Structure 1
Amino acid sequence: MTKAFLPQMKERNQGHIVTIASALGLNFTLSCRITKTTIAQLKEIQSLIPPLEPLYTVQQSMKAILGEQEMICIPRIMYIPFIARTLLPWEANVVMYRFMGGDKCMLPFIKNAETKTSNVKGLLGIL
């Protein structure tokens, strides 16, 4: 989606991209050098916090966009991993990354790709 709208945004020299990401997705989002608002959540602790209310989330997102706030974390506890990343030593960040599931976050995609590859190979074997 960003690729589709980015040329017009550059041409007009304005625009805003909203990224909804897990806390692990912040690294990618922060590497972008365009105006954006990131809404972060952490799947691994969702059982400890209540689900986000859609209206509240939209209201906070719009407030951040209109105020040109680069990042909001909903709920606010999500600021902790972001701040800790800059304050803690590398080893502590690795521990936190693993606790949050960063070392396993791509496994569903890998499994899905392997399943698709197996299916294609199976179909090719039939033909």
Structure 2
Amino acid sequence: MKQEPEVLKLSDMIKGWFIGNFEPSAYQTNDVEVGIKKYDAGDYESSHYHKIATEFTIILNGSVEMNNTIYSDGDIIKILPGISTDFKALTSVTTVVVKIPGVNNDKYIKYK
């Protein structure tokens, strides 16, 4: 009997996150979190940091401003634990975000 691949929809995932220790998930693990995120121009996320995870944000298309620095197509931003950053979409943007390890409740808002 021929086996077929399982097909899931990114639109069924929460905020683009599809691998990690959450539901729904295409693959549930604590080892890593992976998401494909889409933003409209002007979307903003306030400054936050992770105490444990290293986060990689890859700009697939568009441009963003993070901590007063502009990044665009093809840039990979490596954010080590303890480093805070905000995120503002300057254009429509698609990113891939990878967090290693995939630690639940490891997002801390930086207060001024």
Q: TM-score range by the shorter chain?
A: under 0.3
Q: Per chain length, whose mean CA-contact separation is higher, i.e. which structure has more relative contact order (CA < 8 Å, sep 6+)? A: 2
Structure-2-length-normalised TM-score: 0.25
Indicate the structure (1 or 2) with the bigger Cα radius of gyration.
Answer: 1
Structure with the higher fraction of residues in strand conformation: 2
The TM-score, its normalising length taken from structure 1, stands at: 0.24
